[in-house]
Amino acid sequence: MASSLTVALVPSNSYLFPIVGLCLTLLVWRFWRFVIRPRLYPHDPKELPYWIPIVGHAAAFFNNSYVLLRNGDKYFRGSKESYAVEVMGQTIYVVTSARDSAEIYKNTTTMSFEIFVRKFIRSCGASDELLDRLYGAPPSSGDIESRSLGDKTHDFHGMQLFPGGHLPEFTAIFKDFLEDAVRMDRLPGKRYITASGDGWVNVKLLKLVSDYFVDAGQRTYFGKRLGEIDPDLVWTFLELEDRSWQILYEIPAPFARKAHAARDGIIDAIQKWFETPRENRPDGSWWMTTMETEMKALGFNTREMATTVVPIYIGSNTSTRKACFWLLAFLLFNPQLIDIVREETRPAFGNGPVDLEYLKNNCPKLNAIWMETLRMATSAASFRFLTEDTMVGSKMLRKGNRVLVPSRQLHYDPDAFGDDVQAFNPDRFLTGNKLTMGRNWKPFGGGKNQCPGRFVAQQQTFLFVALLLNRFDIEMLPGQKFPRWAEGDPFPGMMPTKNGDDLTVRLTERKEA
């Protein structure tokens, strides 16, 4: 009886041997992969070790990529050498050195950004056939006319948004809108008001900022007509923004119904805009008019035209509103700065329109707060695809893999920004432009793909903050904590708040304004 019980409790060799064999195989594989192989290929970036072949760090990367990269920095003891992470069979080189990142941004021959642009456009609803038509004309020379529309789109955007081009007409639209809209008598009926009284309202700050900035973004590109076609389009976009990762990762519609419905709702509205005769939408931007002409020349129908430009609608409304919210949050938690910024910006307010040039050029404290906000709140990362083996620094990055330059790691480098990088300290930017000219400063990416909207983002934010502080007294309702960073959430651009964190503030009309 006892011998029978013993036999029953001892695992059969048919189970034990495969388990032992699997464990030994895994140990041998790890020894080869992370000990022997690095010695045979010393110029290849070392890999962050993992246990499951092919899968690698997939769970950590998609769950909280920031923590994964932070753990990678710790594992390699802050060496600032490029290292590799494996994600579902794809090798991603993580570049943590500012010097190496500068090489990445300068490289336009053996590294490509187009694959990621195409993926983003596809996630916004474009078919492979539409993408082929958009990028199908290979360049025959350096002349812009010989390039595909996909390539020219970025150039057109620069012409619209860079100083010296069509930026003034762009600026005039959002300036007129915000000056008229940021007033107490425009607030009644807004869905983010939680309470109101004689001369005051309590509002959800992030929702208020988002409402103004997305509406302004619509108007600058499409004029007033798009908002007339769909008066709730701002909130449709915000519905999409909350779930944008589902679109970026191309989650099928049955598992991401709200995200797909919101995206398609935006495309529907823009399609109706294109179907409206031009004479009934005369205030569209130069960029939109130029793109429409180019797309018609290629035979695009109105649905294809809407799908092609919807990435601009999404991209232009994603980050600036968050940056403005974070800036205001820092002011509210450092209330001594509110009066400082109010007094600094007051001279821009006279009897006529607000002097935007004054805000841009004569408000060093506001500018420093803006820079510190960008440093702390940027979550953007730049990707490149390697088309050839490329030596970057002391490491060989292999063809067919991806390169990741995480801006957040660069912005929290104590060697560049000081030992207090975890603290909000705008004074660090009051000592000239040394920090913003350095290699670690990448809130808008770098190289030829640097975000062209950076000038508009600053101007919109400065104007909105100046209007808000000079027309209202603003105070935070008691008992609130600083909104949490959504560090690990897969959102592009500026950091969102964690789980929709917001601040409830009281706005009281300033009579002298």
Query: Which sequence spans correspond to the domains of the chain?
Result: 1-40, 125-380+443-509
Q: Is the pLDDT of residue 276 over 60?
A: yes
* Model pLDDT, residue 490: 58
Residue 139 vs residue 31, higher pLDDT: 31
In DSSP notation, 272-309 reads HHHHS-GGG-TT--HHHHHHHHHHHHTT--HHHHHHHH
Please compute the mean of the pLDDT values over residues 30-38 and round it to a whole number. 94
Q: What is the rounded average pLDDT for all residues in the chain?
A: 91
* Model pLDDT, residue 512: 66
Which amino acid, one-letter code, is at 220? T
| Structure confidence at residue 236 as a pLDDT band (50, 70, 90) | very high
Q: Tell whether 23 is in a known binding site.
A: no
Fold of 125-380+443-509: Cytochrome p450 (1.10.630)
Please compute the mean of the pLDDT values over residues 73-96 and round it to a whole number. 94
% of the chain surpassing 90 pLDDT: 72
* Model pLDDT, residue 139: 43
Q: Is the pLDDT of residue 99 over 80?
A: yes
| Structure confidence at residue 397 as a pLDDT band (50, 70, 90) | very high
pLDDT one-digit tens code per residue, 367-378: 999 999 999 999
CA–CA separation, 358 vs 244, rounded Å?
36
Q: Is the pLDDT of residue 391 over 80?
A: yes
Q: Is the pLDDT of residue 472 over 80?
A: yes
| Structure confidence at residue 19 as a pLDDT band (50, 70, 90) | confident
CA–CA separation, 323 vs 502, rounded Å?
14
Residue 427 vs residue 9, higher pLDDT: 427
Q: How far is residue 181 CA from its own chain's centroid?
A: 26
Q: Give the DSSP H or E segment for 504.
A: strand 504-509
* Model pLDDT, residue 251: 85
Q: Is the pLDDT of residue 330 over 90?
A: yes
* Model pLDDT, residue 98: 93
- Select, from the ranges 114-123, 328-337, 480-489, 496-505, the one with the highest average predicted confidence (pLDDT): 328-337
| Structure confidence at residue 451 as a pLDDT band (50, 70, 90) | confident
Q: Is the pLDDT of residue 5 over 80?
A: no
Strand order in the sheet with 193-197: 193-197, 200-204, 504-509, 472-476
* Model pLDDT, residue 499: 87
* Model pLDDT, residue 17: 78
* Model pLDDT, residue 138: 46
Please compute the mean of the pLDDT values over residues 84-102 and round it to a whole number. 94
CA–CA separation, 51 vs 389, rounded Å?
27
* Model pLDDT, residue 449: 77
pLDDT one-digit tens code per residue, 191-227: 999 999 999 999 999 999 999 999 999 999 999 999 9
Q: How far is residue 319 CA from its own chain's centroid?
A: 6
Q: Tell me which of 125-129, 269-273, 465-469 is least confident.
A: 125-129
Q: How many angstroms separate the Cα of 399 from the Cα of each of 33, 91, 120, 154, 393?
A: 19, 10, 22, 26, 16
Please compute the mean of the pLDDT values over residues 235-259 and round it to a whole number. 89
Residue 513 vs residue 303, higher pLDDT: 303
Residue 17 vs residue 469, higher pLDDT: 469
CA-closest candidate to residue 221, choices 103, 134, 313: 313
Q: Tell me which of 264-273, 320-329, 408-417 is least confident.
A: 408-417
pLDDT one-digit tens code per residue, 134-179: 988 544 444 445 688 988 988 898 899 988 889 999 999 999 999 9
